A and B are shown apart, each in its own frame.
Chain A
Amino acid sequence: MNIHEHQARDLLRGFGLPVPEHEVAKTPEEAAAAARRFGGTVVVKAQVHAGGRGKAGGVKLARDPDEARRVAERILDLEIKGLPVRKLLVAPAADIAHELYAGITLDRRAQRSVLMLSAEGGIDIEEVARQAPEKIVRGHLDPVRGLEPYEARRLAFRVLPEPKQALGLSRLLLLLARAYTALDASLAEINPMVVTKSGELLALDAKINLEDNGLDRHPDLEALRDLDAEDPRERRAREKGLTYIQLDGDVACVVNGAGLAMATMDLIQHYGGRPANFLDIGGSSNPEKVTTALEIIQADANVRAILFNIFGGITRCDDVARGILSVIEKNPPRLPIVVRLIGTNDAEARRLLQGTPLATAVSMDEVVQKAIAAAKTGARA
């Protein structure tokens, strides 16, 4: 789950990191009021779930409340990577001498979390990673003991030669690692971590991604989810345990398992069709998931045909068949549906679907080709 910068700043502040105070503004007037309260120059930052905000014009300095209002107005009009800006963060501007990068994430290959630190932080850190990877130093977190203090010092002294600053930085790295682990984060990143002209260390930005599987342990963090930033259909699917991503084609697909769902989308394109969505009903199905899936798909006006590609394992084909039947018995489908159910309890599923108006298919290639044909001719089942 992605959370906004202002939320990540609040969380990191709670772990003792030196994050300057901020306010959240939803209108230019609120931004001006915040600037007045802080006094002096402020930074106004778009709060969207996308990287590259600075380069997109979503981060600006303002010297006074009037300028803050004008800047806020412009940023609120922006779309950054397709996402409308609904909220702004306003914070006092810092007197920056030096920008560092600090980030912790999973190193899949090493099967450890890794802390990365660079003296060349700021908006071009990915460029640094590509052009001069030696300028990023790395250390792994011990899986049981976490980040060791000596490891934090080793890394800090490699990027900040001044002893007092390096020791200060190493303490902040320990706090960042503690936050990363305690929050079940998949990413905890401060870019930039700055040294001010007076030699103080400040976390001027914060990015935290929370691992979805860890959220059950942190019901309080679930409240940070930005429901406005999520497509309403994708949200409804998530709440029912489905994974749905809307695409712009006309052949909708309901599949169990992410790999098979992607392969089904690939096959639709391979045969000249266009998938309307990615939809994974997951394992351990119950009929209700299928009901929700059909409702979400039928709400998409672009859809001209629906295919089911279910390979039963932990999902039982008879559960899926019951789900389909419970929907079409109440509301006869206005779109052609082609069903392919195979694997666990498929004989029972076939028996259930006998005598219904649903088209069936035996192979994956067949179900895809039949659905594409149905979408093209506009045939109604």
Chain B
Amino acid sequence: MSILIDRNTRVVVQGITGRDGAFHTGQMIEYGTQVVAGVTPGKGGLEVHGVPVFDTVEAAVERTGADASIIYVPPLGAADAICEAVAAGIRFVVCITEGIPVQDMLRVLPFVKEKGARLVGPNCPGLIVPGQAKMGILPGSIVTPGPVGVVSRSGTLTYEVVYQLTTAGIGQSACIGIGGDPLIGTRFLDVLELFEGDPQTEAVILIGEIGGTDEEEAAAFVKAKMHKPVVSFIAGRTAPPGRRMGHAGAIVSGGSGTAADKVAALQAAGVRVAVTPAGIVDELRAVWSAKGAR
């Protein structure tokens, strides 16, 4: 069992001929992911790491049966790449690209939803199901299969936490970076729901950071719907408050986005919040020994 992807997922890489796309195609294949096709408009017929390149996602799907896409396309073309993937019938899309304009994502998200597809990202490291497959840029060497689901808004901080888990002998059911942008396809609460329903996952680690109110929404979900224990870490406790401009942001969110607010909301929902990344392992062990499960 796994969430979202497994060893049978057939992946098409959009932007496969770029520096990052080509490099990480190699890394994904090395990890055991079935990369069946690449797409770069105008470069059909090439091969990258032995993977055939097509001009359109439609052709890639027809010829290879790809059923998931990962996007390494530059920012101003990335929103179009997401639309191309879902229009071609792909139902699971991961977008790594950083720097997509918000106005583009505003138009893309309803289209993804209308097509019944799921998008992870943008501006995210993707996901890895240890021992099965990865779609993204997380280093495969730091994960190991096990019972802990990891979800994070950050990229490299996720690696740090996963590395510490693996070093402590605690394996992961899946590690997902949902992305740091204000508009993303899959949010904390979506992933919490998946982990809650996944038999392999016994506990969840949620890594948040200052800004927005996603952690507060996640806390409300944990309180209302989750039975599995959740441990959290929030980055940015000591970040200096920025110079805020205008009023609309504060009026619309109704929350300050500070670490203190997020920690309080999570703790009120019964989540144990670690003070340092290393403390996550301790909190997780404390949760398990309290439950008598381990």
* Interface residues of A, Cβ cutoff 8 Å to B: 2, 49-51, 81, 83, 101, 103-109, 111-114, 116, 125-126, 129, 136, 143-144, 181, 184, 186-187, 189, 191, 207, 209, 211, 213-214, 216-217, 245, 247, 255-260, 262-263, 265-267, 269-270, 275, 278, 282-284, 310-315, 342-344, 363-365
Contacts and interface: CB of A to CB of B under 8 A. Distances in A.
Chain A CB within 10 Å, residue with most, of B109, B156, B243: B156
Nearest to A286: B19
B268 interface: no
A217 B96 CA distance: 20
18 contacts: A49-B245, A81-B243, A105-B246, A106-B182, A126-B247, A143-B106, A144-B110, A186-B102, A187-B249, A257-B157, A260-B155, A283-B137, A311-B163, A313-B137, A313-B159, A314-B20, A364-B278, A365-B276
B213 A108 contact: yes
Nearest to B113: A111
B240 interface: yes
Contact of A311 (B160, B238, B247): B160
Interface of A (DSSP majority class): mixed
Nearest to B167: A363
B217 A209 contact: no
B235 A263 contact: yes
Contact of A114 (B20, B24, B252): B252
Given A51-B247, A116-B251, 20 more contacts: A103-B248, A106-B102, A111-B183, A129-B251, A184-B101, A187-B245, A187-B246, A187-B249, A189-B248, A209-B246, A257-B157, A258-B180, A260-B154, A262-B157, A263-B233, A266-B238, A270-B276, A344-B137, A364-B160, A365-B278
Contacts of B240: 245, 247
A50 B245 contact: yes
A343 B139 contact: yes
Contacts of A269: 237-238
A49 B212 CA distance: 22
A272 to B, nearest CB: 12
Contact of A259 (B75, B96, B213, B235): B235
B138 interface: yes
A269 B235 CA distance: 12
B260 interface: no
B48 interface: no
B262 interface: no
Interface of B: 19-20, 24, 27, 75-76, 96, 98-103, 106-107, 109-110, 125, 137-139, 141-142, 152-160, 163, 180, 182-183, 207, 209-210, 212-214, 217, 233, 235-240, 243-253, 275-278
Nearest to B101: A214
Contacts of A81: 243
B155 A259 contact: yes
A214 B102 contact: yes
Given A207-B245, A258-B209, A265-B239, A217 B101 contact: yes
A113 B209 contact: no
Query: What 10 pairs across the A-B complex have the smallest Cβ distances?
Result: A259-B154, A257-B156, A259-B157, A103-B248, A105-B248, A260-B156, A214-B101, A262-B235, A262-B236, A311-B156
Contacts of A343: 139, 141-142, 156, 159
A5 B246 CA distance: 11
A213 B100 contact: yes
A262 B76 contact: no
Nearest to B249: A105
Chain B CB within 10 Å, residue with most, of A109, A136, A270: A109
B204 to A, nearest CB: 18
B137 A314 contact: yes
A137 B120 CA distance: 32
Contacts of B245: 2, 49-51, 187, 207, 209
Contacts of B154: 257-260
B119 to A, nearest CB: 12
A256 B233 CA distance: 18
A221 B110 CA distance: 29
Nearest to A183: B103
A267 B276 contact: yes
B139 A312 contact: yes
Contacts of A262: 157, 209-210, 235-236, 239
Chain B CB within 10 Å, residue with most, of A255, A259, A262: A259
B182 A259 contact: no
Contact of B247 (A49, A125, A256): A125
A217 B275 contact: no
A279 to B, nearest CB: 13
A129 B110 CA distance: 29
Contacts of A266: 235-238, 276
B253 to A, nearest CB: 7
Nearest to A313: B137
Contacts of B237: 266, 269
A259 B102 contact: no
A136 B251 contact: yes
Chain B CB within 10 Å, residue with most, of A51, A83, A256, A257: A257
B106 A108 contact: no
A193 B65 CA distance: 56
Contacts of A259: 152-158, 180, 207, 209, 235
Contacts of B141: 343
